[in-house]
Amino acid sequence: MSIAVETRALTKHYGSVRALDGVDVTIRAGEYFVLLGPSGGGKTTLLRTIGGFHRPTSGQVLLHGTDVSDQPPDKRPTGMVFQAYALFPHMTVAQNVGYGLRLAKLPSDQIADKVATMLETVGLDGLGNRKPHELSGGQQQRVQLARALVLDRDILLLDEPLAALDAQLRKDMCLELKHLQEKVGITFIHVTHNQEEAMTVADRIALIADGKLVEQGSAREVYEAPNRRFTASFVGENNLLDGRITSVSGGIATVETGGGAISLPSIDTASQGAKAAVSIRSELVALSTAEDAQISGTYVESVYLGLTTSHRVALADGSQITARVVSGTGATPEPGAPVHLSWPADAARLHID
Amino acid sequence: MNDYANPWGYRLQWMYLLLVVTTLMSPVFYVMYVSFNENGFGAAEYVFTLEWYGVIFTDKLMMNALGWTLSLAVVTTVVTVPFAVLAAKFYKTARSKVWVVFLLLSPLFVAADIFGAALLVYFKNLNHTLVWVGDWMDTGVMDGWFKLGFTTAWIGLIIYTIPYAFIVVLITMGRYKVQQTEAARACGATAWRAFWDIEFPQIRPGVMSACAFTVILCFNEYTRTSLLKGGFDTFTTVLVSQMLNEGMSEQSYAMSSFVSFLAIAAIGSIILWTLVRSEKLGAEARAKAAPVAS
């Protein structure tokens, strides 16, 4: 598969602030690629630099193998969907969608045809004569999508396109975006800080924090097998226990944490005496009997979350670990009672950052 | 007004506003009133006439001054308003907005007579320098560039009007979101097309208001213009000198009223047009706003 977008050592400074710090990323053509990370981490800066709205301080942006680092947005083969406020309020929906085609000097009958087809594609047929303020938030974002897709460009940049929508609408739109991308078959690069949104739509996810690319992989890889401590802390609900490696032998490392010693599969960079962190997804931790226990502590409380209930347990050093179970299953101990916790042998992951 | 506020507080605020406006505008209305009196100011008997409005168009001195003032107003507007738009655009993207505002409004912090005198000295020195440079280069082409006259009065008015036009444009620009320009660029528009197609239609009322405001300021301005105008007269300088030397003539009342009518009509039209348009758009929106699923 060909490469649609590539950044090489991409760096962007704002005065003394490093918004991007040597980011190398490769995005395949036709891929739904998500840039996920905390606010202020640099993911929007990366997207906007790919789109030509920021000039990189150093490094390169290549689109289909061509260096476009010095080209303005109107010269790049990209479309863009913004978080909000980006529709032209003095134009109708149809005029908004047809604006780029008008700039391209297409005949007006062709513009009308393409606009009508695209409005149908995004589920807005019949609303072409409305002004943007007469539409709901979800409809406005669909107009933005139509306006970008109608240009037949093969890379679409989406800057937190669902952030301004309510939770239910965001879920619906996530699936719609995914299906739309599969239908049109072009490269989507989507920025979000919402991991559920990212996992719903992404073929691949890249985690961006402090201006750096932390880790990338499929949604399943990033969720189930995070390599970096930051990824484990940001994606899913992971228990993180910091400590020091006391032994590495036969592919098993033992980490002395504040709650006790934990043995788990080792990694190449592990060495005795090194600082390390252990992550275990909360849904893989269970309250267990003393014989099966991998760690023990004192029961603190349960938090009912609807589908699941979180049991919080304090360890010897005061840190807490969470076991998340399907609500209504298992007994709930009394606060202050001694409890034991266990997890599958391969559930714990070792991180040395 | 919230549900718990005393209704008299609201009414008092309106009364206060009307009192202030009436106080400000009463002298103007009085001048208008006098301008229609055949017997002029202070006469015991009031006889309505339009005679003085006919006479002003035969007053060569006044018409000449009006012509110069209009010319100055037009060329000042042509420079001031685009500059104000550029300045407002710069303000929107500037990191240190306080400095931009301070620099652009700084001409307002200096008293009119001091600013006028400073410009007068500056232009005289500049003119001497250019004449000296011309002599040195054996050419007289630069001799009159900054001699007191239309150009120097024009520059003085530009400096005077830019802060006001900037503020007016900036207020309108507050509604405009920079993402719209970026969206236009992403659609393939150059920076100029994005401005012309997307930004300008939204700030047009502000630009039109800035134009009207600049023209009115050019008519109002006396101190700087009288110091920098050189040999020609403007409407205000004629009016003031007539008033100081001979007292207000009936033609002066009529001319003052005529200009005031024009200014009120211009500003009133803009306000009315804006109100009617927003009401029309609101009605259209309400008519179309059938409930639809997201």
Neighbouring-strand partners of residue A312: A301, A322
Mean pLDDT per 10-residue run, chain A (353 residues)?
A: 93 92 95 95 96 95 95 94 90 96 95 94 90 90 93 94 85 90 94 93 96 95 94 94 92 90 90 93 89 88 94 92 92 91 92 86
* Nearest CA distance, B97 vs chain A (angstrom): 17
Q: Which residue of B has its CA nearest to A83?
A: B179
Residues of chain A neighbouring B294 (CB-CB closer than 8 A): 136-139, 169, 172
Fold of B60-268: MetI-like fold (1.10.3720)
How many domains, chain A? 2
Whether A229 is in a domain gets the answer no
- Out of B186, B189, B197, the one facing A79 most closely (by C-beta) is B186
Query: In chain B, what residues touch A144 (CB-CB under 8 Å)?
Result: 183
CA-CA distances (angstroms) from residue A69 to A56, A74, A148, B100, B236? 7, 13, 21, 30, 57
Do residues A36 and A160 both lie within one domain?
yes
CATH number at residue A342: 2.40.50.140
Which whole number is the average pLDDT over B214-242?
85
Domain positions in chain B: 7-49, 60-268
Q: Are residues A210 and A264 in the same domain?
A: no
A247 and A177 share one domain: no
User: What are A70-101's pLDDT values in tens digits?
Assistant: 999 999 999 999 988 799 999 999 999 999 99
Mean pLDDT of B70-81: 95
Give the pLDDT band (50/70/90) at residue B293: very low
Query: What pLDDT sits at residue A198?
Result: 95
- Per-residue pLDDT of B47-74, as tens digits, reads 999 888 888 888 888 888 888 999 999 9
pLDDT digits (tens, 9 = 90+) for B138-194: 888 888 888 888 999 999 999 999 999 999 999 988 888 889 999 999 999 999 999
Number of residue pairs across A and B with CB atoms under 8 Å? Answer: 82
A88–B180 CB contact, under 8 Å: yes
Q: Which residues of B touch A133 (CB under 8 A)?
A: 285
H or E, element range at B222 = none
What range defines the domain where residue A275 resides?
237-351
State the pLDDT confidence band at B122, using cuts at 50, 70 and 90.
Answer: very high
Give chain B's mean pLDDT: 87
CB A27 within 8 A of CB A6: yes
Flag whether residue A99 sits within 8 Å of chain B, measured between CB atoms. yes
User: A139–B292: do the CB atoms touch at under 8 Å?
Assistant: yes
Residue B282 pLDDT more than 80?
Answer: no
Tell me which of A177, A195, A224 is where a domain ends. A224
Q: Residue B289's pLDDT band (boundaries 50, 70, 90)?
A: low
B202 neighbourhood in chain A, CB within 8 Å: 89-90
Tell me which of A224, A245, A276 is where a domain ends: A224
Q: Are the C-beta atoms of A206 and A23 separated by less than 8 Å? A: no
What is the reported pTM? 0.80
The pLDDT-based confidence of B264 (bands split at 50, 70, 90) is confident
A320 lies in the same domain as A210: no
Q: Pick A130's closest partner by Cβ from B179, B187, B288.
A: B288
Q: Is A75 in the same domain as A132?
A: yes
Q: Which CATH number fits the domain that encloses residue A194?
A: 3.40.50.300
Residue A232 forms part of a structural domain: no
Is residue B280 exposed (0-12), middle (13-18) or buried (19+ Cβ within 10 Å)?
A: exposed
The answer to whether A72 contacts chain B (CB < 8 Å) is: yes
* Identity of the residue in A74, A104, A172 whose CB atom sits nearest the CB atom of B190: A74
Interchain pair B294, A139: CB under 8 A? yes
For testing the chain A interface, which of B92, B187, B190 should be mutated: the one with the most A CBs within 10 Å? Answer: B187
Residues A294 and A212 sit within 8 Å (Cβ to Cβ): no
Give Cβ neighbours of residue A78 (< 8 Å, ≥ 6 apart). Answer: A50, A51, A52, A63, A153, A155, A156, A157, B186
State the CB neighbour count (10 A cutoff) for residue B27.
9
Looking at residue B288, what is its pLDDT? 59
Residues A199 and A254 occupy one common structural domain: no
DSSP codes, A36-88: E--TTSSHHHHHHHHHTSS--SEEEEEETTEE-TT--GGGSSEEEE-SSS-S-
A33 and A147 both lie in a single domain: yes
Q: What percent of chain B has pLDDT over 70?
A: 96
Amino acid at B71: S
CA closest to A87 among chain B residues: B180
Residues of chain A found within 8 Å of residue B292, distances taken between Cβ atoms: 127, 136, 139
User: Residue B141's pLDDT is what?
Assistant: 83
Partner residue opposite B285 with nearest CB, options A99, A133, A144 = A133
Phi, psi of A308 (to 5 degrees): -120, 160
Q: Does B198 touch chain A (CB under 8 A)?
A: yes
Answer yes or no: do A253 and A204 share one domain.
no
For position B294, what pLDDT does the model report? 41
| Residue of B198, B285, B288 with shortest CB distance to A88 | B198
Shared domain check, A307 and A335: yes
pLDDT confidence of residue B260: 87
Residue of chain A with shortest Cα separation from B281: A131
Who has greater pLDDT, A85 or B134? B134
Nearest CA in chain B to A155: B186
User: Nearest-CA neighbor of A136 among B286, B289, B280, B178?
Assistant: B289
Please give the radius of gyration of chain B, using alpha carbons only, rounded to the nearest integer: 24
Residues A198 and A347 in one domain: no
How many CB atoms within 10 Å of residue B40?
14
Q: Do B294 and A137 touch (CB under 8 A)?
A: yes
- In single-letter form, the type of residue at position A55 comes to R
Question: Does A31 reside within a domain?
Answer: yes
In a domain, A249, yes or no: yes
* Confidence bin at B287 (pLDDT 50/70/90): low
Residue A21 shares a structural domain with residue A83: yes
* pLDDT in the model for residue B184: 96
Cα A318 to Cα A259: distance, rounded to the nearest angstrom: 8
The verdict on residue A231 lying in a domain is no
Is A203 part of any domain? yes
Share of chain B above pLDDT 90, in %: 40
**CA dist B111 → B100, B106, B114, B223, B240 (Å):** 21, 11, 5, 10, 19
pLDDT value of residue B292? 45
Same domain, A276 and A217: no
